[in-house]
Amino acid sequence: MKKALRKAYIGLIMAFLYAPIVLLILYSFNDSKSRANWGGFTLRWYEELFTDPALMSALGTTLSIGILAAIISTILGTVGAIALFQMKRGPRNVLMSVVNLPMLNSEVVTGVSLMLLYAMAHVQLGYITLLLSHVGFCVPYVVLSVMPKLRQLDPHLAEAAQDLGATPLQGFMRVILPDIMPGVFSGFIMALTMSIDDFVVSFFTTGSGVSNLSITIYTMAKRGISPKINALSTLIFLCVFILLIGINLSDLRSSSKSKKKVESVRIPY
Amino acid sequence: MKKNRALLVPFVLWAAIFIVVPLVMIVWYGITVEQSIPYTEVVQEDGATVFELEDGSIVTERPQKKTVISFANFKRMVEPTYLKLLLRSLKIAVITTVICLILGYPVALILTGRDFKRPALWLMLIVLPMWMNFLLRTYSWMSILENSGILNSWISALREAIPAFDAWMDSMGVGKRVIFLYNENAVILGMVYNYLSFMIMPIYTVIEKIDHSLLEAAADLGASPRQSFLRVTLPYSIPGVLEGITMVFVPAVTTFVISQLMGGGKVPLIGDIIQNQFGKSSDWHFGSTLSLLVMVVVLAFMGALNRIDKEDEPQKEVRIL
């Protein structure tokens, strides 16, 4: 009886979390502009979505900024983590707390402070400032996910590589990088999702007509509801769903091969 | 690993330009104001215009505004209008955090119990909606709660179908359309929906790590499930609770998106005012002063939580009498 109650509670919470999404998906197939009634099944909104120039260019911006920002911040963050790792304790702690600052700050403050920076440097707000800002707030997350892997590293490995005649670069590419790769990869994924999901920082640091999906959705939602956005949400939700299920299934499979107990489902947060 | 100082340069440069300088800018803008220099225009005999300043000196260029250090914006900040907004932001954030805690703690507790065979999978399903763009999540509630939205269309269908329900609704003084959106409750709902997972995740992580032998020992020593929850699980889960509180409270106190979409501009919060100062009303100095205020509030809040964390830390060593 108690067990049933507990399960029912989880069910209720799931209903609360999923009801809006399910309704959104249902109504994205509704052939009637107002949601007041059901006008039959249609794919009209999906057609309109893919022919809407504003939304399509925003999607392009979101994806290109996301990928570029993730690549740049992964490189910068990995290099930074290695540099930090080699520092002496005192200066390292100082630099670490500086790097952690943006994560303590609220997004609004980060956004407006970057806006002030570009104004001071007389940089016109646009694609470049948007990209720089995204790199800016993604780097700390990459550092955070690479650092633990560096700590686990055997300090003698690199030395051994060099004793065996590897140049420092070879030693890094062949020995260090493969070992810290999981951290680098999860940093990349985190940066990518943070960038794609970001609204607040983008809002303050873009201009000259460059806008990403979040900003476009915001302006559309402020004007009122459009079934096109329902269609868009449905597609995004499907992508996320398939992606996450895929990641976790491959995890399950690889771990059952090695006969290890599956301890957790990966949620790259 | 051979030390390589060259690696440090790009990273330190990045940290300086994108973290330190912007913060210094906020502080600088926050403690300064623009002041216009009073002057009179004088047209000289040769037709050229010059500008006479108050001290009698004459310049040929039109005097620009100058930036002076002033605490005028700090005074403006404590005016009742802005103070009220800050208090409302804090109130809504606190209510949101409490609701998230009340709803979220049992979820974490149940999932870590023995009812579910694959707790991690269920946790993933609960966090999954967070992966959708957060504007879309908020928007989905708008389309449900709108005056001509899904919920209202269901209610009016019900009223047509059941006359008694219609009469009851009329007697309650409810109009043809129930107004759900554009008030404080709608904003709180939007926040709870968006931030609930931020509360569940850290609590789940902490409870999951509790050594099961502790709970078994408690049971062996005769503790009832309730006692072992109060004496073992609860104290050990405090760090997760505190992290969850931070992760909900900080975005809730500074958001301007949810208040604008769910509140329709009728429930302005401190974040809205900051956003306004950098947009329409364009007073970057006052906006920066308000940002400083928000930073201080957030830091003070986290400092206070950290303190609790240290005091409440469960004893690591086992006491043997």
Q: DSSP for B48-66? A: -EEEEETTS-EESSPPPPE
The residue type of B69 is I
Report chain A residues whose CB lies below 8 A from the CB of B201: 267, 269
Residue segments in chain B with a per-residue pLDDT below the cut of 70: 1-4, 312-321
Contact B89, B270 (CB under 8 A): yes
Domain range for residue B203?
A: 74-146+181-312
Maximum distance among all alpha carbons in chain B? 104
Contact A83 B22 (CB under 8 A): no
d(C-alpha B41, C-alpha B35), whole Å:
18
Instruction: Give the pLDDT mean for A26-30.
Output: 86
B59 and B91 in a single domain? The answer is no
B99 and B58 in a single domain? The answer is no
What domains, with CATH codes, occur in chain A? 52-228 (1.10.3720.10)
| Residue B6 within any structural domain of the chain | no
| A65-75 b/e (C-beta count within 10 Å ≥ 16 → b) | bbeebbebbbb
B197 and B137 in a single domain? The answer is yes
| B161-189 b/e (C-beta count within 10 Å ≥ 16 → b) | eeeeebeebeeeeeeeeeebbbebebbbb
| Residue B53 within any structural domain of the chain | yes
Suggest the residue from B101, B135, B176, B285 to mutate for an interface test with chain A (most A CBs closer than 10 A). B135
Beta carbons within 10 angstroms of residue A22's beta carbon: 12
Place of tokens 């409490």: B98
- Domain end point (choices B66, B85, B106): B66
Looking at residue A252, what is its pLDDT?
Answer: 63
d(C-alpha A65, C-alpha A56), whole Å:
14
| Residue B84 within any structural domain of the chain | yes
B90 and B134 in a single domain? The answer is yes
Compare all CA atoms of chain A with the CA of B285 and give the residue at the minimum distance.
A116
Domain count, chain B: 2
B223: CB partners within 8 A, 6+ apart? B231, B232
Question: Would you call A183 an interface residue with chain B, using a CB distance cutoff of 8 Å?
Answer: no
Question: Would you call A252 an interface residue with chain B, using a CB distance cutoff of 8 Å?
Answer: no
Average pLDDT of chain A, as a whole number? 84
d(C-alpha A180, C-alpha A172), whole Å:
10
| Residue B60 within any structural domain of the chain | yes
Report chain A residues whose CB lies below 8 A from the CB of B302: 104
B93 and B109 in a single domain? The answer is yes
3-state secondary structure of A35: coil
Looking at residue B99, what is its pLDDT?
Answer: 97
Report chain A residues whose CB lies below 8 A from the CB of B285: none
Alpha helices in chain A (DSSP H): 2-27, 44-50, 53-86, 89-104, 107-120, 127-152, 155-163, 168-171, 177-197, 200-205, 213-223, 227-257
B80 and B57 in a single domain? The answer is no
B45 and B190 in a single domain? The answer is no
B218 and B132 in a single domain? The answer is yes
Contact B136 A229 (CB under 8 A): yes
3-state secondary structure of A136: helix
Contact A112 B274 (CB under 8 A): yes
The residue type of B176 is K
From A144, A201, A211, A236, select the one nearest B251 (Cα to Cα): A201
**CB proximity under 8 Å: A 193-232 to B:** 193, 196-197, 199-200, 203-204, 213-214, 217-218, 221-222, 225, 229-230, 232
Looking at residue B27, what is its pLDDT?
Answer: 93
Residue B59's DSSP bridge partners are: B51
Beta carbons within 10 angstroms of residue A262's beta carbon: 14
| Residue B20 within any structural domain of the chain | no
Suggest the residue from A9, A115, A116 to mutate for an interface test with chain B (most B CBs closer than 10 A). A116
| Residue B217 within any structural domain of the chain | yes
Whole-structure pTM value: 0.84
| Residue B82 within any structural domain of the chain | yes
| Residue B169 within any structural domain of the chain | no
Looking at residue A228, what is its pLDDT?
Answer: 86
Contact B133 A107 (CB under 8 A): no
B127 and B213 in a single domain? The answer is yes
B46 and B195 in a single domain? The answer is no
* Each residue's pLDDT tens digit, B67-107: 888 888 898 888 998 999 999 999 999 999 999 999 999 99
Compare all CA atoms of chain B with the CA of A241 and give the residue at the minimum distance.
B128
**Position A25 pLDDT exceeds 60:** yes
B132 and B279 in a single domain? The answer is yes
From A115, A183, A111, A186, select the one nearest A147 (Cα to Cα): A183
Q: Kindly state the tokens that stand for A21.
A: 């999404």
Q: Tell me the pLDDT band of A14, cut-offs 50, 70 and 90.
A: very high
The CATH number of whichever domain residue B252 belongs to comes to 1.10.3720.10
B111 and B253 in a single domain? The answer is yes
* Each residue's pLDDT tens digit, A205-249: 998 889 999 999 888 888 877 788 888 888 888 888 887 777 777
DSSP per-residue codes, A76-111 = HHHHHHHHHHHS-HHHHHHHHHHHHHHHHS-HHHHH
